[in-house]
Amino acid sequence: MGEASASLSLTYCVNLRCAALLPTPPEKTTCYIALATNLKSMALVRLIAMSTVEFVILLLLWMLFVSQLSWQEFWIGFIAAALATLADTMVEAENFAPFQPRMRWVLLIFWEPWYVLKGSIVALRELARTLTGGQPVGRFQAFSYPSGGQDAVAGARRALFAAYVTISPDTIVVGIDRDHNTALLHQIGPTEVSELARELGARP
């Protein structure tokens, strides 16, 4: 019984070894090629879709910033948005800085008008205080900020945190210390952590 089991095991191993050494059947090779082609096509479609969305957003932001509805500004913005999208696509192809934000983080951009308005009022108030001989209230503050790892999601959260928080005129993100999980900010006026910064990971 033991010899029969050993013989069967040896035959099984020999068959596996031979199967590994045999060339792949033509039908399987065709299937693999078709699968690889489909994956490449899906990646290309995704790249075109994402680039188109990015281009449209950049163009709309350009028209919003210049605040002029003219064909001249439109075509300048069109060229600028196209160049920016092309540069971003080239960098993304090199996987230089993987960026994969969660949708709820991206949608925080709609909070920005309120924070820009609020920050502008604070900045103007401190400017008036300076012009009248007072001392402006501005200081560096370190907040707890779990920076995450090297993955694309954590990198996107850090990038959006620095961008979104700095847009407001009263706050600048100086840097993020990933070793100590802290974020250094320079703030004018009130120094509490904004709700926007909390949504992106900052803690008092």
- Report whether pLDDT(27) > 80: no
Tokens of 182: 């802290």
Across 195-203, average pLDDT = 86
Helices (H), 67-191: 71-93, 103-106, 112-131, 152-167
Nearest to 150 by CA among 98, 90, 91: 98
pLDDT tens profile 74-90: 898 899 999 988 888 78
Strand, helix or coil at 173?
strand
Per-residue pLDDT at 150: 80
Q: What pLDDT is attached to residue 29?
A: 53
Task: Look at 112 and 42; give whichever has higher pLDDT.
Answer: 112
Would you place residue 192 in the very low, low, confident or very high pLDDT band (cuts 50, 70, 90)?
confident
Residue 36 has pLDDT above 70, yes or no: no
Q: Which helix (H) or strand (E) element contains residue 20?
A: helix 2-21
| Token pair in block for residue 115 | 């924070």
Quick one: which of 142, 143, 137 has its CA closest to 190? 137
- pLDDT confidence bin for 31, thresholds 50/70/90: low
Helix (H/G/I), strand (E/B), else coil: 179: coil
Q: If pLDDT is split at 50, 70 and 90, which confidence band does 14 have?
A: very low
Long-range contacts (CB closer than 8 Å, 24 or more residues apart) made by 127-131: none
CA distances from 69 to 58, 65, 80, 83, 102 (A): 16, 11, 16, 21, 33
The domain segmentation of the chain, as residue ranges, is 2-96, 105-199
Give pLDDT, residue 43. Answer: 67
Mean pLDDT of the residues in the chain: 77
Q: Would you call 142 helix, strand, or coil by DSSP?
A: strand
